[in-house]
Amino acid sequence: MERGNQTGTGNFILLGFTDHRDLQSLLFGLFLSMYLVTVLGNLLIILAFLSDSHLHTPMYFFLSNLSLADIGFTSTTVPKALRNIQTQSRVITFAGCISQIYFFVLFGCQDNLLLAVMAYDRFVAICHPLHYMAIMNSRLCQLMAIGSWLISVLGALPETMTILKQSFCTNREIPHFFCDLTEVLKLTCSDTLINNIVVYSVAIILGVFPLTGILFSYSQIFFSILRISSDRGKYKAFSTCGSHLLVVTLFYSTGLSVYLSSVATLPSRISVMASVMYTMVTPMLNPFIYSLRNRDIKVALGRVLSKMVPLRERVDASLS
């Protein structure tokens, strides 16, 4: 293949899901519904936290940050995919592709770090309940949240900056619905050794380390629960971290499936469907997982929705 221009020029082609028009229409409706549910559900979690003082605790503070990260994560890829299906255009500019890569890595790292911070919060709550408020004070929570955002913003830069120095071949077709970093690197005509070193280094620092922290926290939580004598006490302790454990399992299982599909060089369609689980399904399910089994969230959401109904009635009355 011939060398292309430098990466500062030219467009990429996102091959997307399928060429069948009828199936594209079905996917458009499905993915639009999932995206709207994701944004609405996570926004309600954030509004519930902001409007209800009973939720001003470390757990719900980190949960609201996770909801914000999930909105950003899914908004990085899904709107562009929906636009491409609607307009039958698969073109994405180089700047748009680089932006997708940067924000995808940023919000993915943020999810990793926040889940680790939330695991630490549950560890302190169960293993050191008497010192919980002293350890998880508001200052520490704010520092951990700001630190996770700052690390994510800076951590996403190396992977993005190294691509700017690459040159691409004439084939610029990406067998995906967004600019996946590994797929973009396959299109380069330059040596990708530095890129691969950077990618794996960031993955270890911002992926493996947080996961190790989560596993350590839950190992300590597990042993602490076993030491509780009563079954009711064990159930109560487990219920405080059950939702977070389910979210962690869902997040890392879908993320691992994406990684294994790329490493094993499986057919692109399988990799795309695995990415759908990672980028759409998981952020959509998180609000339901935290709200369905959580009485405080249910009550707070009920108050938020009850305030919205009179407001809508007043708006309708003024318009009529």
Domain spans of the chain, in order of start: 11-166+173-319
CA distance 124 to 130: 9
Average pLDDT of the residues in 51-62: 89
Average pLDDT of the residues in 124-129: 91
Is 287 exposed, middle or buried (CB count within 10 Å of its CB: 0-12, 13-18, 19+)?
Answer: buried
Q: Which residues contact 225 (CB under 8 A, 6 or more apart)?
A: 126, 234, 237, 238
State the pLDDT at residue 202: 87
Three-class secondary structure of residue 267 per DSSP: coil
Question: Is the C-alpha dihedral spanning 145, 146, 147, 151 positive or negative?
Answer: positive
Buried residues in 91-119 as b, exposed as e (16+ CB within 10 A): ebebebbbbbbbbbbbbbbbbbbbbbbbb
CA distance 114 to 110: 6
State the pLDDT at residue 272: 78
Is 134 exposed, middle or buried (CB count within 10 Å of its CB: 0-12, 13-18, 19+)?
Answer: exposed
State the pLDDT at residue 242: 82
Rounded (5°) CA angle 115-100-157: 70
State the pLDDT at residue 65: 95
Average pLDDT of the residues in 272-294: 83
* Mean pLDDT for the chain overall: 84
Q: Who wins on pLDDT, 126 or 275?
A: 126
Given a contact cutoff of 8 angstroms between Cβ atoms, the answer to whether 112 and 207 are in contact is: yes
Three-class secondary structure of residue 26 per DSSP: helix
**Chain centre distance of CA 260:** 18
Q: How many helices (H) and strands (E) does the chain have?
A: 12, 5
CA distance 207 to 248: 13
Quick one: DSSP state of residue 2?
-
Q: Which two tokens stand for residue 313?
A: 């009635």
Q: What is the CATH number of domain 11-166+173-319?
A: 1.20.1070.10
- pLDDT tens for 90-122 read 899 999 999 999 999 999 999 999 999 999 999
pTM for the complete prediction? 0.87
Which H or E run contains 173? strand 173-174
Q: Which two tokens stand for residue 99?
A: 């932006």
State the pLDDT at residue 4: 46
pLDDT of 53 over the 90 cut: no
pLDDT of 263 over the 70 cut: no
- In 28-164, which ranges are E strands? 91-93
State the pLDDT at residue 264: 55
Bridge partners of residue 174, in order along the sequence: 14
State the pLDDT at residue 61: 95
